[in-house]
Amino acid sequence: MSRSNKLHSVAAIFDNPDKVIFAAEKVRDEGYKKFDVNTPYPIHGMDEAMGLGSSKIGFVTLFFGLFGGAFILLFMWWSLALSYPLFIGGKPFFSLPAFFPITFETAVLFACVSTFIALITVFFKLPFNNHPLHDTDYMKQVSVDKYGIYILLEDEKFDKDKIIELFNSLGASSTELIYQPKEEKYSMFQPKYLIFLVFLAVGTSASTYLMLNKLMYINPFNWMEFQEKLNPQESSLFFADRRSMRTPVNGTVARGFIPYPYKGIANPKEVLSNPTLPTTSFLKLGKKKYLTFCSPCHGNFGEGDSRLNGQFPNGPTFHSDKVRNFKDGMIYHIITNGQNSMSAYDRQISREERWAIVDYIRVLQRAKNAKNSDLEEIKKEPSTND
């Protein structure tokens, strides 16, 4: 590296870590601010000797971490609650607990990436491949087994002769004047650079083509492509009807599964009888499933006041004479089979949960249409404070 006549710093070499720590303390006490220490390994206590404060990188991490968490949280709120609201299972448009994992991960991502970028570009000022200390005897020694300290020309108290005298008085084994390297400029349109770009582009394209179009079709990499399988709707020569998608044998059912006998019948003449008991725990299950699957259309109390803001037709009320006179099996049938614009829920809700919903609907109906005898029974019940 060729050097200019512009001075960069005055450097000194010390033979052991105790001397360089003592030198750093003296340089600090003399009032020098623009100086640094180079050692082949970290030395405990050097931060205090140099008078260094706490690093500012923590503030960068904290700021961008909070910024990333706040940004993604506001973005999810805007997109799901304002721009494109989706009503799923009776949940609110903005369900904060569900967004905590994404918020946390985004905050960590912003914090880590910003810390890395700040360290490289701001604190270390990289890329910096022509640092004045590079290719000097000073750097060659402190990179192996010596300990060095240098004071920059930018320091307010910089005086070359006084600094050399100070280093010698502190026991420096040698001193060195560090000069700025000469500035060298290279055009990006040099023939060798353009040729390198051409070879890079051709090599990358060729290797990508060979890997994706040749290598992946050579044994054993082609095993996943050529295997004994049939895609959906693909014909088969094995079966007489040439169909690869086989229907189950008539009359077969899955193990442990009781088929619903009235599936596909709009108004069955007979319905199943309710096999459950409306216990407290069973009604809690019915309430939970009702609020999740039924309340968006029928309302929280079964009054037909949909919470879908006109996205679908409002469901009928459960408090009409018609629905109140339904048998439990008929309500179960409608949940299982669907009716009018309501689709079937036999795949989303289990058999037990459907009966629990039926029992909870009966509770809503009785609460809305209570008789005098019901109120008298409530008065007769012992108070919990007795």
Question: Does residue 29 share a domain with residue 117?
Answer: yes
* CATH code of the domain covering residue 350: 1.10.760.10
Q: pTM here?
A: 0.47
Question: Does residue 129 share a domain with residue 199?
Answer: no
For residue 124, being part of any structural domain is answered with yes
pLDDT tens per residue, range 319-339: 999 989 999 999 999 999 998
CA distance 157 to 105: 48
Looking at residue 121, the DSSP 8-state letter turns out to be I
* SS3 label, residue 27: helix
Average pLDDT over residues 235-259: 83
Question: Does residue 104 share a domain with residue 45?
Answer: yes
Looking at every residue in the chain, the average pLDDT score rounds to 88
pLDDT tens per residue, range 1-16: 678 889 999 999 999 9
Are 226 and 233 contacting, i.e. CB atoms less than 8 angstroms apart?
no
14-28, 118-132, 291-305, 344-358: least confident range: 118-132
For residue 355, being part of any structural domain is answered with yes
For residue 259, being part of any structural domain is answered with no
End-of-domain residue from the set 168, 201, 229? 229
DSSP H or E run through 151: strand 147-152
Question: Does residue 323 share a domain with residue 221?
Answer: no
CB atoms within 10 A of CB 14: 25
Question: Does residue 160 share a domain with residue 192?
Answer: no
Question: Does residue 151 share a domain with residue 50?
Answer: yes
Question: Does residue 162 share a domain with residue 219?
Answer: no
Please report, for residues 6, 38, 39, 87, 151, the alpha-carbon distance to residue 178 in angstroms, rounded to integers and kept in the order given: 9, 14, 17, 69, 10
Residue 364 reports pLDDT greater than 80: yes
How does residue 379 score in pLDDT terms, banded at 50, 70 and 90?
low
25-34, 54-63, 283-292, 367-376: least confident range: 367-376
CA distance 32 to 22: 14
End-of-domain residue from the set 195, 229, 263? 229
Residue 286 reports pLDDT greater than 50: yes
Question: Does residue 153 share a domain with residue 48?
Answer: yes
pLDDT tens per residue, range 70-91: 999 999 999 888 888 776 666 7
For residue 26, being part of any structural domain is answered with yes
How does residue 131 score in pLDDT terms, banded at 50, 70 and 90?
confident
For residue 275, being part of any structural domain is answered with no
What pLDDT, on a 0 to 100 scale, did the predictor assign at position 95? 80
Q: How many domains are contained in the chain?
A: 3
Residue 311 reports pLDDT greater than 60: yes
Phi, psi (degrees; rounded to nearest 5) at 164: -60, -40
Tell me which residue of 346, 363, 336 sits closest to 279, measured CA to CA: 363
End-of-domain residue from the set 165, 185, 205? 185
Question: Does residue 285 share a domain with residue 363?
Answer: yes
Question: Does residue 28 share a domain with residue 111?
Answer: yes
How does residue 378 score in pLDDT terms, banded at 50, 70 and 90?
low
For residue 248, being part of any structural domain is answered with no
* SS3 label, residue 339: strand
Looking at residue 51, the DSSP 8-state letter turns out to be T
pLDDT tens per residue, range 88-102: 666 777 888 889 999
For residue 253, being part of any structural domain is answered with no
Instruction: Kindly state the percentage of the chain with pLDDT values over 70.
Output: 95
Question: Does residue 212 share a domain with residue 166?
Answer: no
How many degrees, rounded to 5, is the angle at CA 359 between CA 357 and CA 361? 70
- Higher pLDDT: 231 or 310? It is 231
For residue 243, being part of any structural domain is answered with no
What pLDDT, on a 0 to 100 scale, did the predictor assign at position 269? 85
Range of the structural domain that residue 91 is part of: 1-185
Residue 129 reports pLDDT greater than 90: no
Q: Which residues pair with 13 in a beta bridge?
A: 148, 174
Instruction: Identify the burial level of 248 via C-beta atoms within 10 angstroms of its C-beta, where 0-12 means exposed, 13-18 middle and 19 or more buried.
Output: exposed
CA distance 297 to 124: 60
Instruction: Identify the burial level of 212 via C-beta atoms within 10 angstroms of its C-beta, where 0-12 means exposed, 13-18 middle and 19 or more buried.
Output: exposed
How does residue 386 score in pLDDT terms, banded at 50, 70 and 90?
very low
Question: Does residue 197 share a domain with residue 136?
Answer: no
Are 295 and 350 contacting, i.e. CB atoms less than 8 angstroms apart?
no
**Would you say how long the chain is, in residues?**
386
Are 167 and 13 contacting, i.e. CB atoms less than 8 angstroms apart?
no
